[in-house]
Structure 1
Amino acid sequence: MEEIIRTEYSELMQKAYIDYAMSVIVSRALPDVRDGLKPVQRRTLYDMLELGTYWDRPYRKSARIVGDTMGKYHPHGDSSIYDALVVMAQDFKKGQPLVDGHGNFGSIEGDGAAAMRYTEARLMKITQEVYLQDLDKDVVNWVPNFDETEKEPEVLPVRIPNLLVNGSDGIAVGMATSIPPHNLGEVADAARAYIRNSSLTSRQLMKYIKGPDFPTGGIVVNMDELPEIYETGTGKIRIRGKVEVEQGKNGKQYLVITEIPYPMIGANIGKFLCDVAELVESRQAPEITDISNQSSKEGIRIVLELRRGADVERLKNLLYRKTRLEDTFGVNMLAVVNGRPETLGLKQILDQFVDFQFDITTRKYQRLLAKEMEKEEIQEGLIRAVDVIDLIIEILRGSRNQQQAKDCLTMGVTDGIRFRHKTSEKQAKELCFTNRQAQAILDMRLVKLIGLELDALYKENEETKKKIDLYENILNNYDAMADVILKDLEHTKKEFARPRRTQLMNAQTAEPEEPEEEDAELVFLMDRFGYARTVEPSVYERNQEAADKENKYVFRCMSSGKICIFTDRGTMHTVRVKDLPFGKFRDKGTPVDNLCNYSSAEEEIVSVTPLADILDKKLVFVTSAGMVKVVDGGEFNASKRTISATRLSVEEDRLVMASPADQGEFLVMQTVDGYFIRFAVSEIPEKKKTAVGVRGIRLGADDRVEKAWLIASRMEFAVSYKEKKLILNKIRLSKRDGKGTKVRV
């Protein structure tokens, strides 16, 4: 019978969400402080050990490893397992790779790994010897897998602080971890120092761990901020790429980037190259004449070719400030501690590691001690058995079955056993071997009675007693156990440590001085699609006919000036000339949408003009509602990139014209219904740009101004109207605010 439970929906959702969040935090996204591994990494490495993919054996297909891991331990999809396997094999992401990959495992430039059916993998030597050793000695807890058909280790018995060595990154629900990698040798030294003196602070431990050691090298430039970061577990590390200057032929110089910031790996290398190209196009770095990415398997090599006499230091600072060549690594040392996420400082991480080492070392030597004591028990039983071997043989010959003989050896039970002499029976009743000893006696072969075999037994027993003494000393003496851990750390450092790659220093990014460029005359070109660019006047003059035909706006401007774009919404956008792409005549240019706040989807361009050409002039504004006004050009000299150029009378009103008043003596306005009016510009009053203006023409119902022109009195001005030529100068001259003349053609 079903039972319906009434409950508050919000409470149920809250509980379900919290359960889900904790599952993601603990079981997927965050590493355990003890072994520094996420569950998917731990399960993959353990499965590789089970499959026998040892470092000195042939590679196994990645698909086999992934499938076995998914089927036994990690039922979350093959892509997450393979991604974890790939990352553990990439030496540019991990301070100490844990998997030896064979095949295409991706590149530092962001290329993805080949499909798992094409790649192979096996364990690294350090993984097998430092991360997975002693699992057979029951040094960690074992938990059931997802369907309770297998057992998996709760944590791996890692013998180095892997959380620091390899770092970690992951996004959980409401929290994220970001731990930088460190140098294995330095971390081992810090752990050994902490074992000797647990009162050391995070700042004192930095005598050994100088700072992060990224696999991509680079230069950390805020070294003075590191103590605070390691104290609190949070902060920002500023890291730069390494730039070298090389001399070429003919006095040319090259800036060569040989190391990149850790956050640049992947697609950000391509983004960096694009950023450098943009600096060249915007003439902020005109000294760079060529960019080439010569990176290979041997390492990073990005070459920037410079003009002779280039200011190298200015260019370096420009690259640091304007590109990803100097980047920030956000530190948040969050890990799972006793099933709960905690932000840890350097001291707390090492404290947890040392506790873990003492725990697994205790369990290891307890297991070894039990094994040796069991061995000693058997050896002592065999030695005692040798002394009474004739009696034992007599017991065995007189017993009807093995259990009868075993009972006699362990408890002196002689019932049913035939003895040759009463003395033998009396001696048999005094036997008291343990069960284990009795079984060993029963299993003993006669060859053990040879003299040399007996000598070996006595020697083996002596060795066993020495081991027991040693293990008991380790288990009962803190210093003895500490020495064992210290020796392990020293061995790991000696065998697997490598020199530091990342340099540490303090440096300020100097503001690069903008090169003093001469104010040069350029020609602005913008086609009807809104693509704009500038060219040299000589280039324009050679292609003048094509330029005038293909472009809607063509005029001369100065390189230090600004371009004003008036739109039908009554807005003025400004673009710096130096932000426009400068190049060849046939270059496409850049949409003005990308250079200012203008949106081609929401507004239309009414006019485009250099700011310098209107500052000392008057501008005539005409709107579709028939309003006109003259505004002083000085009002448009604003620092903001977007300002309101005029106020529109109603919401449906649109700006139709914005032109310098000196372009003509008369203003002609044309409406949709075919009414034209011509009156003197002098009749238009001067207003502020925030004013609506005055009426220029009386409009009929549903009529609106469609076009407007400024014309001179002594020059014929013709336009095409309804596919026929119309001379605007012949339109009857009237006063402002008239109805206009209906033109029929």
Structure 2
Amino acid sequence: MTDTIDTLDDGIERVSLKQYTEKAYLDYSMYVILDRALPHVGDGLKPVQRRIIYAMSELGLKASSKHKKSARTVGDVIGKFHPHGDSAVYEAMVLMAQPFSYRYPLVDGQGNWGSPDDPKSFAAMRYTESKLSRFAEILLAELGQGTATWQPNFDGTLDEPQTLPARLPYVLMNGTTGIAVGMATDIPPHNVHEVVAACVHLLEKPKSTVADLCQYVKGPDYPTEAEIITPAADIQKMYETGRGSMKMRSIYHVEEGDIVVTALPHQTSGAKVLEQIAAQMQAKKLPMVSDLRDESDHMHPTRLVIVPRSNRIDLEQLMNHLFASTDLERNYRVNMNMIGIDGRPKVKSLLTILQEWLSFRQDTVRRRLTHRLEKILRRLHILEGLLIAYLNLDEVIHIIRTEDKPKLVLMERYGISDTQADAILDLKLRQLAKLEEIAIRGEQDELSKERDMIEKILGSDARMKTLVKKELVAAGKAYGDERRSPLVLRSESKAFTEEDMLSSEPVTVVLSAKGWIRAGKGHDVDASALNYKSGDKLGFAIHTKTNYPAVILDATGRGYTVATHSLPSVRSHGEPLTGRCNVPSGSTFEGVLSGADSQLYLMATDAGYGFIGKFADFQSKNKAGKAIISVPKGAKVLPPVAIDDVDNRYVVALSNEGRMLVFPVADLPQLAKGKGNKLLGIPAARVESRDEFLLSALILAEEDKLVVHAGKRHLSMKLAELEHYRGERGRRGHKLPRGFQKVDKLTIESA
């Protein structure tokens, strides 16, 4: 069947299912986008919100009036303008009344309108009472002044405004969220003063950029006092593109050792935050917290107390974890999608929004002035007729009393218009006393001055902008307030890892020559006196802490990470490293590393190459380990050497032939992995044949002594005595004195 509508002889239209569904879905999509989910840039309202505000104004529920039952408003809205469910209309109305949801509430409610902990706990509409708030005046004050375009309601019996004549860019004031078909909107609220200042700047300098406007609009301003911690550069980018995200963080202070949270991010429940923290405590993932209390009341709407287990807990680190793992810190999506003045939905930048709104505002003011000018001209026309009647009062009365058609006679006799004649005939007897020439001419003068002023404004763009600017400033002064959400630069929060949860206790890690690993409490463990399996012996032993991992370095240059706190006790033989990591069979191990992430190590091979590496770069969660140092052909890995400081430290490189070179540690590069640079110049061929190789590479401080061991003889030298061996990195070095050229080992004696 083709995609056409066929009308059969019986009058029934037939259409293909494909064509019908496409049209039906497209119609539905456009309806949801334009008439339900997205706000209009002009008044910043969705249709349901606009209809609630208009219906309340028609009911006389202004800020100065008394409250009326909310059911009365909802009934009027669904009966006259919005034929949808009463619960949907009431929920939209509740949202506009909640001071914790709207930065500037439009509805002033009495009764239970929900709470920050449970925004949907509001009472039924038959119990609550409401009226418009004072802030709603910015939307309604000019409604009856010819500023709105009217359209028929759903049944054509009444008219409703297409948009309200907003005196401020309301689309940014309270923001909105909505989900349409294929698009959504998330517009954050802003501060009146800041937005007004940006509008005034844009009126004065139309070629301004978003960066210029961001000098006034620092960022969103939410109803809560929690901090906005998004960097200024990210906020500017968000305003430039219309998309981005905002991050809010709770405010806390310390009282007598306890953490007291006094402000939560927007739309965050204090009860939920406490549940999240309690869940971590029950799962034993938060051992540093002993108790939680909710001390919120009318005097302190938000007061959550977190009690640390002891006064040794780092409270800042604890709060950073809670920011990362609970709703004490939240992200908010920003997607400034709205219906523009062209009637099309689009994501707009801050500059585009304000430009379109100022265009809308100038058009609104022009329509208001034009409407007022028409009324003035009509009144002046009538006053001319009344003046004629006053000057000829007796004759006018005589014509009215004696003539059958006095209107026509008056028009013919005095040359007045139909409107003027009607105004004369509509005068009541009591008003004849008011027909005084002075009063008429006085009103004419006042209206003429107003007419001339309006005509000047309508005839000049500059005067129009000046008027819009004055009205903006006046409205900002009348309805604005101070910023609530402070903009603060904070470091990024980070949740605790499993190692962070551990207490920092000293421990000795022992690795046997055949790869059996274990750990003992304290640093006084004598690893050489421990029992080993038959044919096994001590390989390496290092002192570290339980919250530091250990990295085992094998002969191929790969490192395998193990958690020190989970290692078996030194009282046993331990367990094979192959049980924890995927170590190739037959692997031998050349060293054990451990320490803080920033700990530096000298990594080297006996081919004479090496580099400085950070311990954090050597760690891996992969059981197969991580390549750390590249081993040239025929070479072997040397045991890693910890470096406590780069400044005033020297590398001592010694070959098996007694050639020694001393150079500053700072001459070596800092790498994450690789072969490194030359420490001592040994030819590659001699390394492959094992004729010559790097025997040892140590780190020497200025105050330390270097001890050379050769058989039973030893030679002790301070740094000043090593001047003969100092040189540039990568040189061949100088030979040690005769008798010390067959070196067994080098050691360092600390001062």
Band the TM-score falls in, shorter-chain normalisation: 0.5 to 0.7
Q: 1:561 to 1:161 in 2, by over 3 A?
A: closer
The corresponding residue for 1:292 is 293
Q: Does the residue aligned with 1:138 lie in a helix, a strand or coil? A: helix
Shift of 1:635: 6.9
The corresponding residue for 1:153 is 161
The number of aligned residues is 524
The corresponding residue for 2:638 is none
Is the contact between residue 582 and residue 623 of structure 2 (CA under 8 Å) also seen in structure 1?
A: no
Does 1:201 pair with 2:202?
Answer: no
Deviations for 1:35-75, whole angstroms, at most 9, x for unmatched residues? Answer: 11111100011111111111111111111111111111111
Shift of 1:478: 2.0
Is the contact between residue 32 and residue 38 of structure 1 (CA under 8 Å) also seen in structure 2?
A: yes
The corresponding residue for 1:484 is 467
TM-score by structure 2 length? 0.65
1:448-597 correspondence runs (5 A): 453-509=436-492, 511=494, 514=500, 516-517=502-503
The corresponding residue for 2:318 is 315
Shift of 1:145: 1.1
Shift of 1:115: 1.0
The corresponding residue for 2:246 is 237
Deviations for 1:79-108, whole angstroms, at most 9, x for unmatched residues? Answer: 110110000001111110000011000000
Structure 1 CA distance for aligned equivalents of residues 570 and 57 of structure 2: 75
Percentage identity across paired residues of the two chains: 37
Q: Match for 1:261: what amino acid?
A: P
The corresponding residue for 2:97 is 89
Is the contact between residue 285 and residue 315 of structure 1 (CA under 8 Å) also seen in structure 2?
A: no
Gaps of 5+ in 1: 413-427, 522-558, 563-575, 580-608, 619-630, 644-745
The corresponding residue for 1:422 is none
Does 1:363 pair with 2:367?
Answer: yes
The corresponding residue for 1:254 is 258
Structure 2 CA distance for aligned equivalents of residues 275 and 292 of structure 1: 13
Structure 1 CA distance for aligned equivalents of residues 156 and 575 of structure 2: 85
Is the contact between residue 322 and residue 495 of structure 2 (CA under 8 Å) also seen in structure 1?
A: no
Q: Match for 1:293: what amino acid?
A: D
The corresponding residue for 2:125 is 116
Structure 1 CA distance for aligned equivalents of residues 32 and 623 of structure 2: 46
Deviations for 1:348-385, whole angstroms, at most 9, x for unmatched residues? Answer: 11111111111111111111111111111111112123
1:295-374 correspondence runs (5 A): 295-297=296-298, 298-306=300-308, 307-337=310-340, 338-374=342-378
Shift of 1:325: 1.6
Structure 1 CA distance for aligned equivalents of residues 190 and 581 of structure 2: 59
Does 1:271 pair with 2:272?
Answer: yes
Q: 1:131 to 1:637 in 2, by over 3 A?
A: farther
Structure 1 CA distance for aligned equivalents of residues 89 and 434 of structure 2: 58
Does 1:61 pair with 2:65?
Answer: no
The corresponding residue for 2:150 is 142
Shift of 1:477: 2.1
Deviations for 1:468-517, whole angstroms, at most 9, x for unmatched residues? Answer: 11222222222332233223222222222111011113322254672551
Is the contact between residue 568 and residue 575 of structure 2 (CA under 8 Å) also seen in structure 1?
A: no
Deviations for 1:104-123, whole angstroms, at most 9, x for unmatched residues? Answer: 00000124211111111100
Deviations for 1:669-715, whole angstroms, at most 9, x for unmatched residues? Answer: xxxxxxxxxxxxxxxxxxxxxxxxxxxxxxxxxxxxxxxxxxxxxxx
Is the contact between residue 110 and residue 265 of structure 1 (CA under 8 Å) also seen in structure 2?
A: no
Q: 1:397 to 1:59 in 2, by over 3 A?
A: closer
Is the contact between residue 184 and residue 493 of structure 1 (CA under 8 Å) also seen in structure 2?
A: yes
Is the contact between residue 44 and residue 169 of structure 2 (CA under 8 Å) also seen in structure 1?
A: yes
Q: Match for 1:370: what amino acid?
A: E
Q: Match for 1:349: what amino acid?
A: I
Q: Does the residue aligned with 2:416 lie in a helix, a strand or coil? A: coil
Structure 2 CA distance for aligned equivalents of residues 486 and 53 of structure 1: 30
Q: Does the residue aligned with 2:163 lie in a helix, a strand or coil? A: coil
Structure 1 CA distance for aligned equivalents of residues 581 and 148 of structure 2: 77
Q: 1:501 to 1:613 in 2, by over 3 A?
A: farther
Does 1:49 pair with 2:57?
Answer: yes
Q: Does the residue aligned with 1:503 lie in a helix, a strand or coil? A: coil
Structure 1 CA distance for aligned equivalents of residues 358 and 16 of structure 2: 46
Structure 1 CA distance for aligned equivalents of residues 571 and 74 of structure 2: 69
Q: 1:322 to 1:446 in 2, by over 3 A?
A: closer
Shift of 1:293: 1.8
Q: Does the residue aligned with 1:504 lie in a helix, a strand or coil? A: coil
Q: Does the residue aligned with 1:80 lie in a helix, a strand or coil? A: helix
Shift of 1:612: 12
Shift of 1:296: 3.0
The corresponding residue for 1:190 is 198
Structure 1 CA distance for aligned equivalents of residues 474 and 337 of structure 2: 29
The corresponding residue for 1:76 is 84
Gaps of 5+ in 2: 1-8, 508-545, 550-562, 585-619, 625-751
Q: Match for 1:38: what amino acid?
A: K
Structure 1 CA distance for aligned equivalents of residues 583 and 62 of structure 2: 73
Structure 1 CA distance for aligned equivalents of residues 400 and 264 of structure 2: 79
Deviations for 1:418-457, whole angstroms, at most 9, x for unmatched residues? Answer: xxxxxxxxxx4xx201111112222335666659833222
Structure 2 CA distance for aligned equivalents of residues 64 and 300 of structure 1: 34
Q: Does the residue aligned with 2:216 lie in a helix, a strand or coil? A: coil
Shift of 1:241: 1.2
- Let me know the Cα RMSD of the aligned residues: 3.3
Structure 2 CA distance for aligned equivalents of residues 130 and 370 of structure 1: 24
Q: 1:374 to 1:258 in 2, by over 3 A?
A: same
Shift of 1:465: 1.2
Match of 1:442 among 420, 425, 428: 425
The corresponding residue for 2:391 is 387
Structure 2 CA distance for aligned equivalents of residues 105 and 385 of structure 1: 60
Shift of 1:395: 3.0
Is the contact between residue 268 and residue 327 of structure 2 (CA under 8 Å) also seen in structure 1?
A: no
Is the contact between residue 132 and residue 156 of structure 1 (CA under 8 Å) also seen in structure 2?
A: yes
Structure 2 CA distance for aligned equivalents of residues 163 and 615 of structure 1: 71
Structure 1 CA distance for aligned equivalents of residues 206 and 82 of structure 2: 37
The corresponding residue for 1:729 is none
Q: 1:180 to 1:451 in 2, by over 3 A?
A: closer
Q: Does the residue aligned with 1:291 lie in a helix, a strand or coil? A: strand
Q: Match for 1:236: what amino acid?
A: S
Structure 2 CA distance for aligned equivalents of residues 163 and 54 of structure 1: 21
Q: Match for 1:239: what amino acid?
A: M
